[in-house]
Amino acid sequence: MYIKLLKSKVHLANITDKNLFYEGSLTLDKEIMAKANLKPFEAVWIYNVNNGERFETYLIEGKKGEVILNGAAARKGEIGDKIIIVAFSWVLEEELKNFQTTLVYLNESNEIKEIKSISYS
Could you give the residue numbers annotated as active site? Answer: 25, 58
Q: Comparing C-alpha atoms, which of 28, 24, 108 is closest to residue 74?
A: 24
- Sorted by sequence, the CB contacts under 8 Å of residue 92 that are 6+ apart come out as 1, 2, 3
b/e per residue 35-51 (b: at least 16 CB within 10 A):
ebbbeeeeebebebeee
